[in-house]
Each structure stands twice: as structure tokens, then as C-alpha cells.
Amino acid sequence: MNNTNNDLWPEDLELFATMEGKYTSQNEKEFFEKMRHKMENEIAPSNDLIMFEEDNEENIYIVRCVYDEFIVGHGLKGHYDEEFHSMNLSEALNANLKELGFTERDISLFDWLRERDYKGVRYNHNYAFI
């Protein structure tokens, strides 16, 4: 029996299983553990800001929607490029930021987060509860 509020996509179950025990830092471990908890248990009907564009030099933002949908976007102060809306975390992390037109560098969101060791990630900005 599943005791969570949201059943994860098979891709995300595989992602979490693959990552477990292979984290490159404590911050990476915190990211995956807290994301899994949020995605399974913490509804975000009015969205959950994971990365704010003013908290990183390349003005990338990440937003969690409902349980496990994600928006990856780029821009500043309301002037944004077309967003990438993924149905699960795996899709979001696999997004290529250069192909989306967000960065000059050829880099996935996962590698971008790992490169900055998850600096700037927020775990307390669920708009329904602030």
C-alpha cells in the first residue's frame, strides 16, 4: 500500500533509486531527499518556488507545480523567455539549458544544479503556505 499523497512517475522512481547512495555532496542529498518528500506529500496548488532567478547569475528559475510538475524558466523581473513545463523531475533535470535558449553553455539543469552545489535552492517557498 502506498502511504503517500501522490504516486511518482516511473522515471522519477528510477531517478531517486539511481541517486540514492551516490550523492556528490550533502547538499545534493538534501535536494533529492527533500524533493522526493515534497513531490510525494506536499501539494503546491499555487506553486512552490525552488530557485529564484535573482539567486543565481544566469537568471534561471525553477518552480514546482501541484506535486511533481516543474517549470524551468529564464529571465528577470517579469521579462521571461518561453518556459519549459515538465511533467516530472526527471524531465526537468534532463532539460538542456542551451537548447531552451537560457544559457550560452551546453548544460543540463541537473549538471547546472550540481555545478553550483544546489546553492540558492529554496525548500520553504510554497506559495499556498506563505
Partner 1 sequence: MGNQRQYLQSGGFSEYLYKDESPKVTINGVTGKMISKVTDPTGTHDGLPTYSNTSDIYFKKGEDGLASQAKAYKDRKTILDFDWNHTHKNPDGTTFPKGTVHVQVYKVDDNGNIVRLSKKARPMTDYEIKKYGPIILYFNPNVKF
Residues of this chain that bind partner 1 (CB under 8 A): 5-7, 9, 43-47, 49, 52-54, 61, 63, 65-67, 71, 77-78, 80, 83, 85, 87, 125, 127-130
Written as nine digits, the cell of 88 is 516530472
Smaller CB separation from partner 1, 16 or 61: 61
Smaller CB separation from partner 1, 101 or 128: 128
Provide the minimum distance between the beta carbon of 23 and partner 1 in the complex, in angstroms, as a whole number.
Answer: 27
Provide the minimum distance between the beta carbon of 127 and partner 1 in the complex, in angstroms, as a whole number.
Answer: 4
Cell numbers 535558449 correspond to 101
Amino acid identity at 40? E
Provide the minimum distance between the beta carbon of 19 and partner 1 in the complex, in angstroms, as a whole number.
Answer: 21
Give whole-number Cα distances, 54 to 17, 20, 45, 59, 63, in Å.
Answer: 32, 30, 23, 6, 14
Helices 26-41 and 10-19: crossing angle in degrees, nearest 10, is 150
